[in-house]
Amino acid sequence: MDLLVIGGAGYIGSVVAGQLLAAGHRVTVYDNLVNGHRAAVPDGAAFVHGDVLDLDTLIRVLRRGFDGVLHFAALSLVGESVAEPARYFRTNVGGTVNVIEAMRATGTPRLVFSSTAAVYGVPDEVPIPETAPLRPISPYGASKLATDTLIGYAAAAHGIAAVSLRYFNVAGAWGGLGEDHRPETHLIPLALQVALGQRPHLAIFGSDYPTPDGTCIRDYLHVEDLGHAHLLALEAAQPGQHRIYNLGNGAGFSVREVIETARRVTGHPIPTVAAPRRAGDPPVLVASSERIRAELGWEPRKPDLETIIADAWEWTRAHPHGYPE
């Protein structure tokens, strides 16, 4: 297929772009390079420097004729979204409004969208199925829920074949592509920066959550396994349907357990300091991915947290300052 990967210079978008190329698809990456990196665009992909908020450029690019769009371009930090809600809605909801309008204007048939576990808020049950109540507790989660809602209506109205993938916590590296956020806010890359000697310690945001060790529990998925789900979603998408799949391993690890695993993998003590809770963080997020396993045959190949962190560590050591600018 001929595919436009919007946000394909970011962490997950670049890995999926690389996997699409490896599977024989033609790939064009569209990215404004605000959070993405030109060096993360895989060899073999065409590149357009464009913004998802620029509808005219999106339409002009899609007019070349594409079989589908994979839309990763978004703001994705829970804590930041609490401080800047309008910016999150503008980029995440407004950006996807543009993607859909451009797809409609150009007759582009398929959409795979990056949604999030943050749409569920504080769940009543874990693992969380797709049928769980949608009660986001952060502007980030609310913006992604609004977008998922829009995609459902757009699939029905315009016959778009759409799939939303609700990611839980993604980590690891694939094909020489890894995680390079500036500033970095995610637990695993920060722990590895401490191990590398770039930071003195790691803050633990909240030790009084209703969990066994008092720290938040998350479901960490290897970016390679997450990427594979996008290829399956693209093949399975049906005109006029909006499918929704949760993506995680189904196992939860606390912040302390993640740090302990990072200590084992790196052989570094990774000192920590206690810090207050971060706004917008639910205590526990663990995925049920039964639906995508049953319907698309998805199966994680690297479910082990130690492997996920080891792959991230290998990338971090090879790229101690991230991608070149």
Binding residues for ligand UFG, per CB under 6 A?
Answer: 76, 78, 116-118, 168-169, 185-187, 190, 202-205, 216, 218, 255, 278, 281, 285
Query: What is the C-alpha separation between 4 and 48, in angstroms, rounded?
Result: 10
User: Which C-beta is closer to ligand UFG: that of 149 or that of 185?
Assistant: 185
Asked if residues 220 and 285 have their Cβ atoms less than 8 Å apart, the reply is no
Minimal distance in Å, beta carbon 166 to ligand UFG?
Answer: 8
Q: Which is nearer to ligand UFG, 103 or 287 (CB)?
A: 287
Pairwise CA distance, residues 254 & 277, whole Å: 14
CB of 220 to ligand UFG, least distance (A): 9
Closest CA to 249 of 229, 223, 227, 219: 219
Rounded distance between C-alpha atoms, residue 111 and residue 54, angstroms: 18
Q: Rounded CA gap, 37 and 311, in Å?
A: 20
Least CB distance to ligand UFG at residue 165 (A): 12
Buried b (16+ CB within 10 A) or exposed e, 3-14: bbbbbbbbbbbb
Q: Cβ 297 to ligand UFG, closest distance in Å? A: 24
| Least distance to ligand UFG, CB of residue 104, Å | 27
* Annotated catalytic residue within 30, 88, 140, 220: 140
Separation between Cα atoms, residue 133 and residue 115, nearest integer Å? 15
H-helix or E-strand containing 222? strand 220-222
Looking at residue 208, its amino acid is D
Could you say which DSSP state residue 20 is in? H
Contact present, 195 and 205 (Cβ < 8 Å) = no
φ, ψ for residue 235, nearest 5 deg: -70, -35
Query: Parallel, antiparallel, or unpaired for β 217-218 and 253-254?
Result: antiparallel
140 assigned to active site: yes
In terms of CB distance, is 236 or 292 closer to ligand UFG?
Answer: 292
Q: Is the peptide bond before 183 cis (omega within 30 degrees of 0)?
A: yes
Structure tokens at 51: 């913004």
Residue of closest CB approach to ligand UFG: 216
Between 28 and 91, CB nearer to ligand UFG: 91
Cβ distance to ligand UFG smaller for residue 66 or 168: 168
Provide the minimum distance between the beta carbon of 35 and ligand UFG in the complex, in angstroms, as a whole number. 12
State which residue, 29 or 187, has the beta carbon closest to ligand UFG. 187
Catalytic positions, written as ranges: 140
